[in-house]
Structure 1
Amino acid sequence: MTRLHKPQHRRGPALGIGRTLALVLPVVLVLSGTLAVTRVNWSGHGSDSMLAASASDASTRAGARAPQDVLRDRLLLELQEEDPGVALTHLQEEVDRKPSLAAHCASLARALGRAAVKQYGATRAQSYARPVCDTSYATGVAAAIG
């Protein structure tokens, strides 16, 4: 008696995963394609306006500089055109006028000290030292020297 062997089909995990992918994958592809298409500018005019908007945002941010940065630039220009004494006097006047700048006074005075050494040399720069923002100007001079 010969027995005919019928192959037994077992449903393994691969078949379940395959069927799930067969159902889910087309849905995912359609949704991702739809989202990609909605992000494309089909009018042909939007990219220029987006670039212009980005440029105007950047110029607005660049134009809105912090007060201490504006003051630093102005004082460094005064130091070059006049002398460190004038810049230090104006620094003290600005800090007295706007107390919110007091937190930045030391860093501003140190920047003036470093710039003075570059422009006038160590000895002459040190001769302008005065007690504006404690000894920060002198600290800036010393830092630029050594």
Structure 2
Amino acid sequence: MNQVARRLGKTFALVLPVVLVLSGTLAVTRVPWAVSSSEAQVLTASAKKDAATPQEALRQKLLAELQQKDPGVALTDLQVAMAKQPSLARYCASIARSLGRAAVAKYDGATQRAQAWSRPVCDTAFATGVSSVG
């Protein structure tokens, strides 16, 4: 009988912590404030949709600046941004072309007036953007 009690005690000593850990884990996952994995995936996906890429954020900032001020200011800021963030250099030509097209739109299709702001930022991408509209 003494051996049976000892064996039973050892079994409880090994099984009880496992049961307590598992029941505690299950209890935590069932509290109302716990987010299920499907809800977390939805939240993550919507956060990714709303967050603009760095190059798109820069493009939008510069396009707004072009509208508020002039293309020269936007091109200068593009050049500064490229110096500060070299990782965006591969998007420079695309952004400069967008600025060129926006400059033509700002001056109601006057490509010569828009072209007057051209400078060698990202080679000739701004000029290419201006000429692609007309």
Name the TM-score, length of structure 2 as normaliser: 0.66
Which residues in structure 2 correspond to 1:87-126 (within 5 Å)? 87-120=74-107, 121-126=110-115
Q: CA offsets per residue over residues 43-93 of structure 1, 9 Å max, x none?
A: xxxxxx899656533430123321100000000000000000000000000
Q: Determine the structure 1 residue equivalent to 2:133.
A: 144
Q: State the distance in 2 between where 1:136 and 1:71 align.
A: 16
Q: RMSD over aligned Cα, in angstroms?
A: 1.8
CA deviation string 1:7-38 (max 9, x = no partner): xxxxxxxxxxxxxxxxxxxxxxxxxxxxxxxx
Question: Could you say which structure has the larger radius of gyration?
Answer: 1
Say how many residue pairs are matched.
97
Instruction: Output the CA distance in 2 between the equivalents of 1:63 and 1:94.
Output: 22
Corresponding residue to 2:118 among 99, 104, 129: 129
Q: TM-score, normalised by structure 1?
A: 0.61
Q: Which of 40, 43, 51 pairs up with 1:56?
A: 43
- Write the letter of the residue equivalent to 1:124: R
Structure 1's unaligned 5+ residue stretches are 1-48
